[in-house]
Amino acid sequence: MNDTNEYTLSEMELEEIRAYAAPMQELNKLMGAALRMLVRQQKLQGEWHLNAEGTKLVRGDK
């Protein structure tokens, strides 16, 4: 560590971080897909709709 508060990771440290991050990225993708499916289902049930500008999905009465 130098006086600029910077630290260079070794290749081994980088591989360890990548190995940890890969499942987290996959989980993030799956959670995003599940959320999109839930919103789609609720939209079909009439619980969600586009706002007046048509730019956001909102919950509640139109």
Structure token pair of residue 9:
């990771």
Q: Taking the model in full, what pTM does it have?
A: 0.48
**Distance of alpha carbon 18 from alpha carbon 26, whole angstroms:** 12
Structure token pair of residue 32:
């995003």
Q: What is the pLDDT of residue 21?
A: 94
Q: What is the pLDDT of residue 36?
A: 86
SS3 content of the chain, % helix, strand, coil (to 5): 55, 10, 35
Domain ranges of the chain: 11-59
Give the single-character DSSP code of 1: -
Instruction: Please report which confidence band the pLDDT of residue 2 belongs to, taking 50, 70 and 90 as the band edges.
Output: low
pLDDT digits (tens, 9 = 90+) for 12-54: 999 999 999 999 999 999 999 998 888 788 777 777 777 888 7
